[in-house]
Chains A and B, each alone.
Chain A
Amino acid sequence: MADVVVPEIATSAKVETRHAAAAILGETRAQQEDVLKIQTLRQEKEGQGMFRAVSGREQEAVAEPDFYDIDRAEAVRIRESGRCTKDSSEQKTINERAKNLKINADVLKEIYEQGDLSPATIEAISHVLAKIPGFYTAIASHFPGQTPESVQLALKNGTVDNITGLREIIESHLKSDGMKQRLAKIFSQVGYKGEEIDNLSADIETLEDDIKQKEEAISKEKQRRQQAVDYVKKNPTELTNTGDAITALDQTAKELGLNINNLSIQYIEQQKNSIEARYSELIKQRNHPNYSQETEDSLKVKLDNYKQLENYYKEIIAPIKEAGNLSKLDIYKLSQLTESELIVSIVDQKQLNKDKNTLISKRHDRKSLQEKYEGNVNSTLERSIKGYFQEVILTEARENAQAEARKKEEDKTNEEGREKKTEDLLDNFMKLSFFKWNYDTKAHGQAVDKWDDTWIKDTVHAIKSHGPEGMARILIQRLLNQRGSLPTDIRDNIEEVLKKINKDSPGDPLTALSGESLRKIGTKFVPILFGAAKARGYSLERFKLTGPQAEAMMANYGPDFWDKINENFTKFNQEAEKVFGQLNIAGGLGRKIRQELSADNIMQNKLAFLLKLLGILGVVGLSTLLPGIGPLLAVGGLAGGAAAIGGLKSKS
């Protein structure tokens, strides 16, 4: 409002918990736009639709994101992709922490990207908020029936849903622009090594799988060997023959430079036939100069060995093979191996040990990164939220307190201004509204027809059921209703004042006035109404009141109420006397008055009209409403007295 004096900012405004609560809740001052938006919703969707839209249910009905499900899915995904399988308590702890860390990182990203918050996040953040007394005290002040302790407990235990609306507040708090910036800062400060951690986890997974497979193979073979040893112990005779045969076979094979494990009957026969052929050829050449007895002997031994080998094979091994009973051979062979011989036969022990060392090293690296990040996130988050509360929430709370103090001052100033203007309005125009106005065809304008005695009488009686506030409403409403019937100039002046009282809705000044102001106005103007009624001949002696009504009037208007009425009555008559000489004010206005008060005359001589009118109605102070003619009004009564206007006859 242009004419409103805005006081200096109330820097001394006291910051109370409710101001902090308002800041936490994201309340802002006088959100006219919001109100307009909601008013539109009310018109378009009616009451229930408006509430549905404001509550967010309308959107939920369309597509409600169920972050509980999303979180569950996320939890399942993490659980199922658990990379560490080693069953040790330490590894379990690491896995758990890796899982939590993963959730935290995802969640923080969600917050940063304005996503939905999972219950786990709400719980984590709540723990931090539970450490900020200003926060939970402010929240408690907002929820009827809650104490700071109960809110703190809910935050601490993660049972925020026990307090309706608390979850929304936490979410809004975390998703506010200020908090969003802080979370962005957290990410940059803690230097999230997610990719590095993920790579390490992948390497660890590969190594773990590889080692696991090898160890499983070793374990399996060890088990088989143990079974073999046990079998040999239990069945010594059965395997002794096989064992002796194998030993002999092995010995013979070794003498021939062969490995028993690689022997096949085809190979043995091929070798035997070849040596036999060479031996036969050599015997034929005994007389040859190059013949060597030594070679013949050597071939003979070899041939015998192969023959023996062939016999062993055919007699001992082939039947075992044919009988499908090779397992006994395997069992025997296994039982003879030492543990290290067994492992060497399965894996490269050196490589396995190296892999194990690499795995330990990578796990250590990952753990360090996780701990560092986790610690950074936790401490930074806590510090950040606390800092946010201190810097943002409390600052906003201070601003809220200051704004409230300022608004109170503004309201007071505005209210005083509105009250004064309304008083001026009634001072100057109320009595005009006591008339009935009609269009005068000869004068071509609005002219006074007669006093509206019925309305005056009804309004006087209204005091029995209305206090000063209600009476003020009736008087103001009368003027509002009548202004359309008044001459244009008067109406325009009234409209101008109405705009100053209620800029947004000039036609409804009543909504701009407080009950206190209306009460003051009623107290001032009701005696004037009664004075006018008495002047119009209403016998106040016949105005009957019950005991309680009389007491109420005494309380509302003071013990000098009747004196005030008489003062107004006398003033009314004196002013009329001054203007009209011996004319009787109670007899109604004659044609001449109507002509004088007609629109034509107003247009021809506005000043003269006003002077007459002021004289008739005892108006003072119009200069405040009609700038420029103030000095002339001082002589209004005298000038009006010179006007010879119609004959009025007193009834009293």
Chain B
Amino acid sequence: MDEVLTADDKKYIYNLLADEFIQGLGAKYLGKYEQKILSKKILDNIGKSQTWGEVINFIDDFSKTYSFFQPAVSVFKAKINHGTEAQIINKLETYIKSSPAVN
């Protein structure tokens, strides 16, 4: 299910990518110009993205060079699959409840 992005979605995407970017800065050496280029690419690509699929394609490709964006890919993929995920969680909860308790 590839939903069309809303303004809130984009805000969420930018915020998450910003957090990953900051994490990346702490772990990897990024020069000022590299930061600038990265930021421009993100603004350009997210700006023109219409769907979650486009966002994921871009970040997936991007994270091959900048691995610190990898968690964002998982999160975005989860966003797409949130319906399926809810079902899985329900099943898990049922399973956990059926596990043996302390005597």
Binding site for B on A (CB under 8 A): 22, 25-31, 34-35, 38-39, 42, 46-48, 50-52, 54-57, 142, 144, 164-165, 168-169, 172, 400, 453-454, 456-457, 461, 464-465, 533, 536-539, 542-544, 651
Contact = CB atoms under 8 A, between A and B. Distances in A.
27 contacts: A25-B34, A27-B31, A34-B25, A34-B32, A38-B21, A46-B18, A47-B11, A47-B18, A47-B19, A48-B10, A48-B11, A51-B21, A51-B43, A54-B39, A55-B36, A55-B39, A56-B40, A57-B43, A164-B37, A164-B41, A168-B37, A400-B29, A461-B96, A464-B99, A537-B103, A539-B103, A544-B100
Contact of A169 (B18, B19, B33): B33
Given A34-B25, A47-B18, A55-B40, A543 B100 contact: yes
B5 interface: no
Nearest to A22: B29
Interface of B: 10-11, 13-19, 21-22, 25-26, 29-43, 64-65, 92, 96, 99-103
A542 B100 contact: yes
Contacts of B101: 457
B98 to A, nearest CB: 10
Given A42-B19, A47-B14, A57-B40, 10 more contacts: A22-B31, A25-B34, A29-B29, A35-B25, A51-B21, A454-B102, A457-B101, A457-B102, A464-B99, A537-B103
A48 B14 CA distance: 5
Given A461-B99, A538-B102, A651-B103, A42 B18 contact: yes
A25 B35 CA distance: 10
Contact of A52 (B37, B41, B43, B102): B43
Give the interface centre of B26, B33, B40 by most chain A CB atoms within 10 Å. B33
A46 B34 CA distance: 20
Contacts of A28: 29, 31
Contact of A165 (B18, B33, B65): B33
Nearest to A164: B37
- State the majority secondary structure of interface residues on A: helix
Nearest to B99: A461
A28 to B, nearest CB: 7
Contacts of B42: 51
Contact of B22 (A42, A46, A536): A42
A473 to B, nearest CB: 16
Contacts of B41: 164
B102 A55 contact: no
Contacts of B64: 144
Contacts of B65: 144
A26 B14 contact: no
A22 B39 CA distance: 18
A440 B71 CA distance: 45
Nearest to B18: A47
Give the interface centre of B14, B19, B64 by most chain A CB atoms within 10 Å. B14
B33 A172 contact: yes
A27 B26 CA distance: 13
A552 to B, nearest CB: 16
B40 A38 contact: no
Given A51-B18, A54-B39, A168-B36, A35 B26 contact: yes
A555 to B, nearest CB: 21
A168 B33 contact: yes
Nearest to A407: B29
B15 A165 contact: no
Closest 9 CB pairs of A and B: A47-B14, A27-B31, A55-B39, A47-B18, A47-B15, A25-B31, A48-B14, A54-B39, A165-B37
Contacts of B30: 27
Given A27-B30, A48-B11, A51-B14, A38 B25 contact: yes
A533 B102 CA distance: 9
Nearest to B66: A144
Give the interface centre of B13, B41, B65, B102 by most chain A CB atoms within 10 Å. B102
Contacts of A536: 102
Given A55-B39, A538-B102, A50 B33 contact: no
Contacts of A456: 102
Contacts of A544: 99-100
A436 to B, nearest CB: 15
Contacts of B15: 42, 46-47
Contact of B102 (A46, A50, A453): A453
